[in-house]
Amino acid sequence: MSQPTPQIRLGIAGSGAIATGLARAAEDVCDTVLWARSEESAARVKTSARVVTDLSELADRDVVVEAVVEDPAVKRDLLARLCDVLSGDAILATTTSSLSIEELAAATNRPERFCGLHVFNPVERMDLVELVLHEAATEDTHRRMHELCEALGKNAVEVPDIPGFVVNRLLFPFLFEAVRLADEAGLEPEAVDACMKMGAGHPMGPLALLDFVGLDVAVAIGEQIGAEVPARVRELADQGKLGRKSGAGFYEYG
């Protein structure tokens, strides 16, 4: 009788929407530990995965996924710290949605065991994972990351290490054009979103989607892919109106 395949020991570094969504997606299929930066952050995490605040608690993980703010300096610092505690054969991945995987790999001591794992929010419901395996990644890294995606019930599509990968490279110019059209034509967000939902079959209109992603994240992605970020998006972000997570953006949220 064949032995059951052991659960992947998964570590997640971060406590935001993507990190906690990934933890919830993994909690029944992986032995999952989530690291939060502080006790306050840990208290806000809603998952049955084990939540810790000591980075060394991730030392025994097979795969650790960094899922913190889309800031290259913050990511590089955390990735370097993770390398200090992980075992030699552990794989390190990042959920970046737009940054260079090769450049982030350079901040680690394991570029051959490093990759991009771009999951989409809400992680529990979105099937796609953009898997970014740069040139230095070994065949073992390829195999193990595909196994992780399969365990999570995700469809992994290998994409090139280019700014924004595939989805965001195509999506954000469209979202920004929707903002420009609304401003130029004097249209309310509801009108633009209704047109795209009913006329193009989109599940969510472009302005509502920007609010869902977060306008600060949208600015960061736009800058990374070289898209022209509309002034209105920057103004809202500068005002702290980041969308759903702050209670206001193009729409107001209770």
Among the listed residues 68, 78, 137, the one whose alpha carbon sits nearest the alpha carbon of residue 107: 78
What are 132-191's pLDDT values in tens digits?
999 999 999 999 999 999 999 999 999 999 999 999 999 999 999 999 999 999 999 999
Q: Which of 115, 132, 158 is the last residue of a domain?
A: 158
Q: Is the same domain home to 115 and 149?
A: yes
Tell me, yes or no, whether 149 lies in a domain: yes
SS3 229: coil
CA distance 214 to 246: 9
The pTM assigned to this predicted structure is: 0.91
Using pLDDT thresholds of 50, 70 and 90, give the confidence band for residue 46.
confident
Cβ proximity of 210 and 90 under 8 Å:
no
User: Which CATH number belongs to the domain containing residue 113 in this structure?
Assistant: 3.40.50.720
146 noted as active-site residue: no
Q: Which of 158, 186, 218 is the last residue of a domain?
A: 158
User: Which CATH number belongs to the domain containing residue 176 in this structure?
Assistant: 1.10.1040.10
For residue 204, report the phi and psi dihedrals to the nearest 5 degrees: -145, 140
Residue 183's domain spans which residues?
Answer: 167-246
Tell me, yes or no, whether 2 lies in a domain: no
SS3 98: coil
CA distance 7 to 183: 51
User: Residue 2: its pLDDT value, please?
Assistant: 45
Q: Is the same domain home to 173 and 239?
A: yes
- For β-strands 63-66 and 50-52, DSSP reports them as unpaired
Q: Which of 127, 158, 189 is the last residue of a domain?
A: 158
End-to-end, the C-alpha distance of the chain in Å comes to 56
Q: Which of 118, 134, 142, 202 is catalytic?
A: 118
What are 212-251's pLDDT values in tens digits?
999 999 999 999 999 999 999 999 999 999 999 999 999 9
- The dihedral sign for the CA sequence 102, 103, 106, 110: negative
Among the listed residues 201, 211, 164, 137, the one whose alpha carbon sits nearest the alpha carbon of residue 70: 164
Q: Is the same domain home to 151 and 171?
A: no
Q: Is the same domain home to 150 and 183?
A: no
Q: Is the same domain home to 124 and 189?
A: no
- For β-strands 128-132 and 63-66, DSSP reports them as unpaired
Q: Is the same domain home to 96 and 73?
A: yes
Tell me, yes or no, whether 1 lies in a domain: no
Tell me, yes or no, whether 4 lies in a domain: no
Q: Is the same domain home to 27 and 125?
A: yes
User: Residue 1: its pLDDT value, please?
Assistant: 47
Residue 74, H or E segment: helix 72-85
Listing DSSP states for 38-52 in one string gives: SHHHHHH---SSEEE
Q: Is the same domain home to 18 and 115?
A: yes
CA distance 22 to 119: 8
Q: What are the DSSP E strand ranges found in 133-207?
A: 155-158
Tell me, yes or no, whether 142 lies in a domain: yes
Using pLDDT thresholds of 50, 70 and 90, give the confidence band for residue 18.
very high
* Cα 86 versus chain centre, distance: 21
CA distance 252 to 214: 13
CA distance 157 to 160: 10
Compute the half-sphere exposure of residue 56: CA atoms within 13 Å on the CB side of its CA. 0
Across residues 13-24, what is the average pLDDT? 95
Q: Is the same domain home to 140 and 195?
A: no
User: Percent helix, strand, coil in the chain (nearest 5)?
Assistant: 45, 15, 40
